[in-house]
Structure 1
Amino acid sequence: MTASGAQPAVLGRGAEIDRIRQLLAAAGDGSGSVLWIDGEAGIGKTALLDQVLAEAASRGCAVRSTAADAAAKAFPLRVLLDCLGLGAAGPDEVLAEVRRLCGEAPLVLAIDDLHLADETSLLVWRRLASRTGRLPLLLAATAHPARRDLAAGLAASRIALPPLGGEVTAQLAARLAGTAEIGPRLRAQLAGARGNPGYVRRLVLSQPLEVAAGIAEVVSAEPPREVAEAVAAGLRTLTSDARDVLRLAALLGSPFPATDLHAVSERPMIELARHVEEAMTAGLLEETGPRLTFRHGLVRQALRETTPGALRAALHHRAARALHACGTPVERIGEQLLASAHLAESEFDDWALDWLAEDGRSLARRGPECAEQLLATAIPQLRRDDPRRAELRATRVLALVQLNRAEQVRDLAERALADSSDQPRAAELTWHLTWSLAALGLAEEATAVAEEALDQPGFDRSWLARMNAMLGRVLLTEDQFEAADGAVERAVTEAGAARDDYARGLALHVRGSGLARRCDLSEAVICFEEAAAALGDAPEHTDLRLQVLGDRMMLLFALGRSDEADAALHELLEIAERSATESRLAAIRLSAAYHCFTVGRWDDATAELEAAAELTAHMTEPERSRLHGLSAMIAGQREEHEAFRHHLAELGPAERGFPLVAEVLRAEIDGETDRAVQLLSGFLERGDRFATRYVFLPQLVRLAMEIGDAATATAANDACAEDASVGAVPNILAASQHCRGLLDRDPPALRAAIELYRKTNQSPKCARALEDLALLHAERAEPAAARKAYAEAAELFQALGATWDLRRVDARMRAHGLQRTRRRAQRATTGWASLTKTERRVALLVGEGLGNPDIAAELCSSRRTVEVHVSHVLSKLGVRSRVDIAVEATRHRRDEVHSGS
């Protein structure tokens, strides 16, 4: 079927409609005003203006309305005359007519697209606006975003329409389709509309839909060309030059640096800035830190698809050469070459092959997926005697290593080794082959290959060092600690003799990993610091350096050195955002999100998860499951029901870690405590090693005791005590004390756990321990102590936004006759009051003139996390720029100072 074109009712605008009703009520009492409805094209300004008229009519108001058009500019006073239904008349007669109508009933005078009105109408409109306070008159208008100047100087009530939320967007699509629900493919397409009702409408109405059991679904996962054409047609309000610039921008990815657009467009910067500003004003482009991005993915897609393929291929190839000429990073050049190759389906020219031979290794480290695809296409085009062929094959092996494709590395490395007569290149290929065998779980074969290579004469000392370090890593996976230590010592010696910083860094990392596996965390941290110092900031060392820094950060946190761990995480993210491959960055973002979740920075955790979600194509299946598991944990505890259901549906097998604990949370919320205990008991059956299972054991003790399963509770307590005895570090000691306090009903043990949680900055766990302590005091008829712990737990849960935890603790304490005296009011959904604590702090720092990198440093966060927070602030405040945020922040800082808060 094809969806009907019936206009749906206004959805998701409850706060705005409430504000309109207030203005109408005031007009009815004789105090008029001006209403300015603002927002990007397609956001629903006209629909809301229609709602104003409907509400006014239902209240008995007189209603006069019109929509201005371009032809109106040629006729003085045309728009207001049409609105009031007058023939030929002058300004004074218009004013008299308005006064007459106001004398009969409250009057609503509404003009859609006021920016198209003639100058005389605009002048009279302003005169009317100055008199609204003395008349029962509501003037309502919409205009193009570029003409906000029309409201300047007016005491107007401005309603800035933000994008619709995900669930409301889905409801709108269902109404347009004439069904109750929509399917997952259509829901995925709607993400490109970014909550813009106009783009939602084009998506639904411009393609065929299938309906089954009341659910509308698109035929194809990708929108058809008809959708692209419909969206592109909606850009005709832009100047032709702005559309041309946007078409080039659509080739550059999103986000993209303005310098790239300058290089590719070959336009003067001043001229380019004018066209970019036009696109930003129209809500098509927006700033993301120092870069630009399409506000709606659907627009970028439409511009790309409506450009003929042959022309796009030529433009991509020209872009690659232009970007190379101005020194653009290799990954952006590679993306342009790859796009051109996919479209043209022709052989690479000599320039492209020479570029791959010269810069391919850098591309393999920075953009391995792109490098692999380019090399897989380029290598078959070369003759066997072409000197570039051997180099490109070795580079492709490197790219596959970066992508963790061990099976392909093994196959290609073995074939390349059979053809190679160059010993340094053979040594490199053997090293990668050893890695692939170890990654495939073939430790014995990996050891044999490494040892055979080390027995070969004439091995370069750098490769001796690297091979010994790799051998040490393989032996370590088999718990052959002494043999691994010997290989590492040889690696350190050879690396020193060869002055090979990479080999030394690798060897020290392996040594530190061995110490960590033997629970000597303090010495392991020192090793990792020495490894990072050896690696330095050489670009070719980036991947290993990030591994070292990530391991160091986790050990610092495990040792209770939380401030150092925060600083280490900031350093890790700063380097990763600048230099990491997308797969490595995805893994680091997940680690960052987990750390932020653990220390109670849930807004930052959510922002990191949003940023990580952009990289799902570069994640392994376990990483994607971890992403959805952790996202589900936060959404469930914050009672964000739609997001909770979505992430649960996306989970992989719930066998361990956050996917499993997300399922436990679902069971708890559903009141299935037996199932929750059964799921968590898997940690005991698998015998997870130190630094993993202890995280979840207090929860298992608590739930097992709730259902009277003393045996499981005792086993969980014993397991945590065993972990604490092996690795006596604050995090594990805190968990062990928590378990014992629950099992033995021992307040001192719980207080000891709470103190350790506080010292290690783990507010979510501290809140749960305080809840457990409050309940224990209540059971022991110690109300004063119970109230104190209860209040502290509730304060922490409130700071986290953990409303489900708050309801749970309230219910548990209410059973003992205890109740909180104050409850937090429901959070607003728009405006300053809707900002989270973190978002408010980010907004205030923007108001102080700080850029995203400086804000990230201030918050020990990542640049991308700050970008996500800024995006949320823009949306919630209904503004478009950092300047607007700064204005709001300054006003609220001033209000707080005046109020003494």
Structure 2
Amino acid sequence: MVESSMQPLRGRSEELGRLLDALRAAEAGTPSLAVVSGEPGLGKSALLAAAVEQAERHGFLIAQATAQQTDDISPLSSLAPALRAGREPLIDTEHFMELAALNTQPLWLAERLADFVGRRLDGKKALIVLDDAQWSDPLTAFALRVMIARLSSHQVLWLVASRPAPGGVAAQLVSAVQTQVAVHAIELGPLSAEAIQDIAKDRLNGPVESVLALQLAGVQGSPFLAEQLIAGLYLDNALPGTPASATPVGPLLTGPAPTGPLPPGLVEGVRRRSTGLSESARTLVRTAAVFGSEFRLEDVAALMAEPVAKLATALDEAIQAGLLVDAGSALRFQHELLRSATLADVPPSAQRALHGAIATQLIAAGRGAAVAAPHVLAVAQPGDTAAVSTLRQAAQELLATMSTTAAEVIQHAFDLTGADDPLRAEVGVDVVAVLLTAYQYDRAKAFADDLLSGTALYHGPITPDLRATIRLHLAPRQWVAGRLERQDLFAPGAAPHLTERLTAYRALLSPDEVPPTDLLPRMIDPVARAIVLAAAAETARAEGRYATARDYYVEARATPRELGSLPNSRLEVGELYCRAETDELLDALNRSRELMTAGDWQSAAHLSVLHARLEFAAGNLEAAEEEARTGLRWMNEFHDTRLAPGMHQVLALIALLRNQPTQAREFAGADSTVNTLLAIADGDDKAVARLRDVPEGFPERIDLLVRADAEDLLAARAAASPSVAALGAHELVAAGNDLKRLAAATEQLRTTDRPLLRALAEDRYGRAELETGDRATGVATLERALESLTKLGATGPAARIQAVLQAAGVRRRRWAAVQPRAEAGWEALTPMERRVALLVAEGHTNRSAAEELVISASTVGTHLRSVFSKLEVNSRVQLTRLVLERFAPPPNA
């Protein structure tokens, strides 16, 4: 890459070189994350600008944004400018509006965003930049983690700048993605004295006078302070001959707020620069400094009781003085250090008065309590009930879209109440509710326990209703997370409806406590009744009574949402499991697909397990595998892997169907059923008997019972849930060698939506016909099963059927298509993966390959990641080289 045409970036050649190396790697197909960290004023933004300029020169698509201090009250506000700005925005208007509808579902939003951006980046090299990342809103921080992991096969460099903050946004980002992409940590220290002198020479277009050189030695290696000194803003103990002001030369740098005391002389420099301003302009700048780093002119005008038009001249003065910049929809200070220096000249008492006036004005203007909250916090004192009320309202306003911020706001409200103030208990309930909505269960539980245990957190009375209310806030999430404990479900003396709800929750823990269903109509409280219905549904489902369980789930979901109500999404997961077992598999599968992009993201793990299992049951092995791996990634993201065994079961079963025993063993772990299947695959016929012990909740348990000839268990299953699949499976086993009954059972199972079960039935019937009956019927039936399994990619059972046909003397031209596939190398690729690999090697993007294959670009990306893994390559360039080597014509051809 060539030298930049911008003014030279002094003293950062090594750091810029590392970024240029990362850009080259991205261009070659190796994506990475670069994190630039440093204290305020050390030139992070200038380094980013130099990298952007170089990337533009080499045809990179550029998407960049700068986070602002106020971003934490608006979802995705830090990243949105990068998504929508530039000549080639990453997200078009239609898709951006679709994303806006998912603000309350961060997981689905991040996944959809990754899909949209992935489509946009197909075949393109891109640089995506976020400056001042320490101020990112929580949704931006989360979305970046998901996007970087999801787009790890694209030609992209993610470039983030942040001030040092252990455990902050940048650190969390690195921790989350370092196993998916390479990470470059670039720490900026102070510039050398020589580099500072070079900056001065560049700005002045000539030599540096000795007096200025002496002052530059006091800027402590900060390019920002050097810029201000040269521009006449930084006057540290001005010496004779030093200009009091000067016309700024070159743009001022931008950066984050200072973490320590302001550099000596900066406040005086800003004060001197302000001296030349009119009184109106000085008031404007000082008032704006209290508003924040970004503000609206109309808000400042209202506070100053001046018409906006009258402040136009004053604003122009402040801009010309290099203090403010017009960003279009808002105004901001050129640099946070300039705002801090301005604010230092406003007496604390005046700041407090202004913050109070700003908060009052914003609320009166209808801007909402959330916008006013930072100013309320700046002046609120313990015991300020008005401030507490505003903050509680702000937390509720933020809860739907910015639950993490809402959690911090409500905590502040709680801290403003006295330990013995009765209001503290009421706000404490809010804290628990908000923390749970923000998916901070551990924090909510710890807070609730402290609040109810009479610690220093709260000295007021712990009433039975308070105890019951807090426990009922916790109980729904505890049940979903598998953490519901019996001792937490008692509150003697609480109101009857609260007591009834706690009692109902105990039924969820113990089937023995579920009241008879004929007593349900007598229950007074509808929420308690719904909880008992859910308990009855869970019991019926565990016993294989799927139709009964389905109906209970449906009735439970119809109850209005109140304190203690179970999450509807979790109840619907149970309902869909049951529907899939009562001849409604495809309907359940379609609904699960809808929920995967619009359901309650906090039930994502349960939804993901459900979806993977339903895709597997429907024979969609690739979709099931992709969903299982995605679900495992989500579980790791939320540090909750309780449901991982269910995903591992699905992945192990898929590996066995593909004749990949090594992968199946990796997923199996201590799972007895999968290990039994592995033993059978290894030739242990006696292991088949152990399949009778397969647990009720195992994926496609009915198939395994057929393989184990468990007629009694299949009979019980058919009696408890008389679905076509259950009845047909029982008849298939009960028929023995009766060809007429086998034919009828097989015909019955052909009407189901379970292709693996259909193939199993045809295999059994076909073999029986081949051995003792009509050879033509037997061969045709086995070939039908073979064709079905081959299309599904189930090469393991397909190979076994093929062997039977070959032994029977059947000859076909394409037997090799179902031979056991290797687990690595070119032979390990599925036919679709090979087609994707060849198209990519020809230069196709994911999008154009998708059009060629008539599939989605996302599916192409899934196949491409699998190709990379099996061929042990990590870029399109390496893949192309391997394909060319494999298919190159022989010498002298």
Calculate the TM-score normalised by the size of structure 1.
Answer: 0.50
Q: Decide whether aligned partners of structure 1 residues 789 and 552 sit closer, same or farther in structure 2, where only a CA change above 3 A counts.
A: same
* Structure 1: distance between partners of 2:156 and 2:814: 49
Partner amino acid for 1:667?
A: A
With CA pairs under 8 Å and 6+ residues apart, which has the higher RCO, 1 or 2?
2
- Counterpart among 624, 647, 658 of residue 644 in structure 2: 624
Aligned pairs (5 A) from 1:715-864: 716-741=710-735, 744-780=736-772, 782-823=774-815, 827=831, 829=833, 831=835
CA contact (8 A) 2:472 2:563 kept: no
CA contact (8 A) 1:247 1:304 kept: no
CA contact (8 A) 1:417 1:429 kept: no
Shift of 1:762: 0.4
Query: Which residue number in structure 2 is paired with residue 565 of structure 1?
Result: 588
* Structure 2: distance between partners of 1:303 and 1:763: 47
Q: Decide whether aligned partners of structure 1 residues 786 and 565 sit closer, same or farther in structure 2, where only a CA change above 3 A counts.
A: same
Query: Which residue number in structure 2 is paired with residue 75 of structure 1?
Result: none
* Structure 1: distance between partners of 2:739 and 2:51: 66
Shift of 1:763: 0.4
Does residue 649 of structure 1 match 2:649?
A: no
Aligned pairs (5 A) from 1:208-287: 237-239=54-56, 246=64, 248=66, 261-262=79-80, 270-271=85-86, 280=121, 281-284=124-127
Does residue 550 of structure 1 match 2:573?
A: yes
Deviations 1:550-571, CA, capped at 9 Å, x for gaps: 2221222211133432343344
Shift of 1:588: 0.4
* Structure 2: distance between partners of 1:320 and 1:532: 46
Partner amino acid for 1:426?
A: R
Does residue 869 of structure 1 match 2:725?
A: no
Query: Which residue number in structure 2 is paired with residue 531 of structure 1?
Result: 556
Aligned pairs (5 A) from 1:221-370: 237-239=54-56, 246=64, 248=66, 261-262=79-80, 270-271=85-86, 280=121, 281-284=124-127, 293-294=147-148, 295-296=151-152, 303-304=159-160, 308-309=164-165, 357-358=392-393
Shift of 1:585: 0.7
Query: Which residue number in structure 2 is paired with residue 426 of structure 1?
Result: 467
Query: Which residue number in structure 1 is paired with residue 30 of structure 2?
Result: 199
Q: Decide whether aligned partners of structure 1 residues 444 and 504 sit closer, same or farther in structure 2, where only a CA change above 3 A counts.
A: closer
Equivalent pairs: percent with the same residue? 19
* Structure 2: distance between partners of 1:194 and 1:590: 36
Q: Decide whether aligned partners of structure 1 residues 312 and 791 sit closer, same or farther in structure 2, where only a CA change above 3 A counts.
A: closer
Q: Decide whether aligned partners of structure 1 residues 358 and 789 sit closer, same or farther in structure 2, where only a CA change above 3 A counts.
A: farther
* Structure 2: distance between partners of 1:370 and 1:817: 71
Partner amino acid for 1:479?
A: D
Q: Decide whether aligned partners of structure 1 residues 304 and 464 sit closer, same or farther in structure 2, where only a CA change above 3 A counts.
A: same
* Structure 2: distance between partners of 1:815 and 1:822: 16
Does residue 470 of structure 1 match 2:505?
A: yes
CA contact (8 A) 1:590 1:627 kept: yes
- Counterpart among 597, 601, 607 of residue 580 in structure 1: 601
Q: Decide whether aligned partners of structure 1 residues 589 and 876 sit closer, same or farther in structure 2, where only a CA change above 3 A counts.
A: closer
Aligned pairs (5 A) from 1:23-422: 199=30, 237-239=54-56, 246=64, 248=66, 261-262=79-80, 270-271=85-86, 280=121, 281-284=124-127, 293-294=147-148, 295-296=151-152, 303-304=159-160, 308-309=164-165, 357-358=392-393, 384=419, 390=425, 393-395=428-430, 397-398=432-433, 409=445, 412-413=448-449, 415-416=451-452, 418=454, 421=462
CA contact (8 A) 1:465 1:503 kept: yes
* Structure 1: distance between partners of 2:781 and 2:598: 41
- Counterpart among 654, 660, 669 of residue 634 in structure 1: 654
Deviations 1:216-263, CA, capped at 9 Å, x for gaps: xxxxxxxxxxxxxx999987632499999546489999xx99865236
Q: Decide whether aligned partners of structure 1 residues 365 and 298 sit closer, same or farther in structure 2, where only a CA change above 3 A counts.
A: same
Does residue 590 of structure 1 match 2:609?
A: yes
Give structure 2 stretches of 5+ with no counterpart: 5-21, 36-46, 93-116, 130-142, 171-254, 258-291, 297-328, 331-361, 363-369, 375-384, 455-459, 818-829, 840-845, 869-893
* Structure 1: distance between partners of 2:69 and 2:29: 24
Q: Decide whether aligned partners of structure 1 residues 369 and 381 sit closer, same or farther in structure 2, where only a CA change above 3 A counts.
A: same
CA contact (8 A) 1:505 1:530 kept: yes
Q: Relative to structure 2, which stretch is displaced further, 810-819 or 597-606?
A: 810-819
CA contact (8 A) 1:232 1:302 kept: no
CA contact (8 A) 1:771 1:789 kept: yes
Structure with bigger helix share is: 1
Question: In structure 1, the residue corresponding to 2:567 is in which secondary structure?
Answer: helix
CA contact (8 A) 1:252 1:261 kept: no
Name the count of aligned residue pairs. 574
Partner amino acid for 2:648?
A: H
Shift of 1:597: 0.4
Question: In structure 2, the residue corresponding to 1:479 is in which secondary structure?
Answer: helix
Deviations 1:178-227, CA, capped at 9 Å, x for gaps: xxxxxxxxxxxx9x999986538999xx9xxxxxxxxxxxxxxxxxxxxx
Shift of 1:834: 7.7
Deviations 1:23-79, CA, capped at 9 Å, x for gaps: xxxxxxxxxxxxxxxxxxxxxxxxxxxxxxxxxxxxxxxxxxxxx9789xxxxxxxx
* Structure 2: distance between partners of 1:832 and 1:411: 52
* Structure 2: distance between partners of 1:360 and 1:796: 55
Shift of 1:802: 1.4
* Structure 1: distance between partners of 2:408 and 2:678: 41
Shift of 1:717: 2.7
Query: Which residue number in structure 2 is paired with residue 667 of structure 1?
Result: 679
* Structure 2: distance between partners of 1:694 and 1:262: 41
Partner amino acid for 2:618?
A: V
* Structure 1: distance between partners of 2:443 and 2:691: 34
Query: Which residue number in structure 2 is paired with residue 36 of structure 1?
Result: none
* Structure 1: distance between partners of 2:162 and 2:484: 50
Question: In structure 2, the residue corresponding to 1:534 is in which secondary structure?
Answer: coil
Deviations 1:814-856, CA, capped at 9 Å, x for gaps: 2232344545867254557989xxxxxx9899979x9xxxx9x
Does residue 604 of structure 1 match 2:421?
A: no
Question: In structure 2, the residue corresponding to 1:303 is in which secondary structure?
Answer: strand
Q: Decide whether aligned partners of structure 1 residues 390 and 543 sit closer, same or farther in structure 2, where only a CA change above 3 A counts.
A: same
Partner amino acid for 2:125?
A: A
Shift of 1:787: 0.9
Give structure 1 stretches of 5+ with no counterpart: 1-67, 72-189, 207-229, 326-332, 338-349, 496-501, 703-712, 836-841, 856-865, 879-901
Query: Which residue number in structure 1 is paired with residue 525 of structure 2?
Result: 494
Q: Decide whether aligned partners of structure 1 residues 361 and 763 sit closer, same or farther in structure 2, where only a CA change above 3 A counts.
A: farther
Question: In structure 2, the residue corresponding to 1:560 is in which secondary structure?
Answer: coil
Work out which of the two has the higher radius of gyration on C-alpha atoms and give 1 or 2.
2
* Structure 1: distance between partners of 2:565 and 2:601: 7
Partner amino acid for 1:529?
A: V
Partner amino acid for 1:869?
A: T
Q: Decide whether aligned partners of structure 1 residues 790 and 635 sit closer, same or farther in structure 2, where only a CA change above 3 A counts.
A: same
Partner amino acid for 1:473?
A: L
